[in-house]
Chains A and B, each alone.
Chain A
Amino acid sequence: MNMQSYFPVPPGVGMEENFLSLDDILLSHERLPVRSDCAFPRLGFLEKSADTQDIAEGTKMELPLWLTKGLYEKKRKVVSVELPKVYREGWRTVFNADPNVVDLHKMGPYYYSLGSQLLHFDSPENPDIAQTLLQTFIGRFRRTMDSSQNAYNEDTSAVVERLDSLEKGLFRSGQIGLNGFQSWEKGQATQLTASSLVLNYRKRKITDIQP
């Protein structure tokens, strides 16, 4: 998705999801550990591990974020959401000590976005989660920047593969800026290239001709 020729809708990042963002749609599929606080008659199909027709009260299961958000109500107990491991206190301590050691791709890859989404569900730990998310981003910023700005013909895959999806997006915009400047410097910007529209048009024409 490097050279997009349209305006992709960016992810919402904070508590707000962007409806037409592909990243946010993928995010909405992330699974959260939840517990049912009431019985769900005839919804057994949602819980793949048990072969029952109903979901009994107190069942522990994993549900995707979109479904959890749909079911969750603050005033009435329907489901309660548990924190995924990375957002619990133990990991928060790790992040606060040195955010750079963590492989956020493996732990995420939507570490920041999912963390922000968790704030929709009431939890006494919410302020701490929010604080850790921000501090982690700031703590890792220098690295994200250096990898995107110094990656002059270097293999950056080792650094990049440990970035969260949000950081990866930033890495890409940094690279676009750097590459743009470098190709200008080399004088490549003055060479005109055919637009992808024209190229696609030609391709279509050829296929049209073929029987």
Chain B
Amino acid sequence: MSDTLFDDGSEQDDIQEDVMTPAELIAKLEEAWLNEKFSPELLESRSEVVECVMEQLTHMEANLQRVKKGDAKASVHRMEIDRIRFVLSSYLRSRLQKIEKFFPHVLEREKSRGDSYPSLLSPEEFAFAKEYHANTESYLKAVALKRMPPNLQTVDMLKAVPEPCLDSFVFLRVKERQENILVEPETDDQREYVVDLEEGSQHLMRYRTIAPLVSSGAVQLI
């Protein structure tokens, strides 16, 4: 993770130690939300952002408990909390949807990753994926597979469930200027060429080409 500030701060109650302001934190959450919504594959979990946002919300809600009813400021705070909560749950939900959609591949990747690579999933998501996999298998077994001839009683989920298509096109906005991004030809009579992605410009191109830039935060999917 590029957010080194979270590496030690995420477990602690006092968020003031972080160099990131709460406003920047919310912006990070919104970035993660849109990226997750539009990327064809499951992205790395931003648990540290989620945890910090949760802390902010809990903290704010605790403060609001002490405010007396009808306070004009409190209602504004509550509206803001609702909006942040919406983004947070939409973010988590779109991750769960992708886990459901690609569960065998998500679990396979988790199994094959080396210790030096971070997990894509939060511990809760990992538990969810495992459980979803087990439930799907036992359900299919109970309603259909156990009545089939013995040689047909196993289904390879990795083959049955389509993989995410990394060749999908995505819309993106550039946050940090990038030079010499290789655009592969679409047809035989085209040639590959390079483009520079200027800061603030918007593009339509294959996700595979710019996937590393999404995880580094240099581009934002839109």
Contact = CB atoms under 8 A, between A and B. Distances in A.
Asked whether the complex places CB atoms of A and B closer than 8 A, the reply is yes
B100 A20 contact: no
A9 B97 contact: no
A18 interface: yes
B97 A18 contact: no
A61 to B, nearest CB: 26
A7 B161 contact: no
Give the size category of A's interface with B: under 10
A19 B156 CA distance: 10
B101 A7 contact: yes
Nearest to B156: A19
A12 interface: yes
A98 to B, nearest CB: 21
Interface in B76-108: 97, 100-101
Contacts of B161: 9, 19-20
Contacts of A10: 162
A18 B161 CA distance: 7
A20 B158 CA distance: 12
Contacts of B101: 7
Interface string A10-29: 10100000111000000000
A7 B100 contact: yes
Interface string A146-162: 00000000000000000
Contacts of B66: none
B211 to A, nearest CB: 21
B147 interface: no
B159 interface: yes
Contact of A19 (B97, B100, B160): B160
A135 to B, nearest CB: 11
Contacts of A20: 160-161
A10 B164 CA distance: 12
B162 A9 contact: yes
B97 A12 contact: no
A7 B162 CA distance: 12
B162 A18 contact: yes
A175 B101 CA distance: 24
Nearest to A19: B160
Contacts of A9: 161-162
Contacts of B162: 9-10, 12, 18
Contacts of A18: 162
A208 B161 CA distance: 36
A20 B163 CA distance: 12
B186 to A, nearest CB: 11
A9 B161 CA distance: 8
Interface string B153-173: 000000111100000000000
A19 B163 CA distance: 12
Interface in B106-151: none
B32 to A, nearest CB: 22
A17 to B, nearest CB: 10
Nearest to B97: A7
Contacts of A12: 162
Interface in A1-60: 7, 9-10, 12, 18-20
Contacts of B97: 7
Nearest to B155: A19
Contacts of A7: 97, 100-101
Given A12-B162, A19-B161, 11 more contacts: A7-B97, A7-B100, A7-B101, A9-B161, A9-B162, A10-B162, A18-B162, A19-B159, A19-B160, A20-B160, A20-B161
6 contacts: A7-B101, A10-B162, A12-B162, A18-B162, A19-B159, A19-B160
- 8 closest pairs, A vs B, by CB? A19-B160, A18-B162, A7-B101, A20-B160, A9-B162, A19-B159, A20-B161, A7-B100
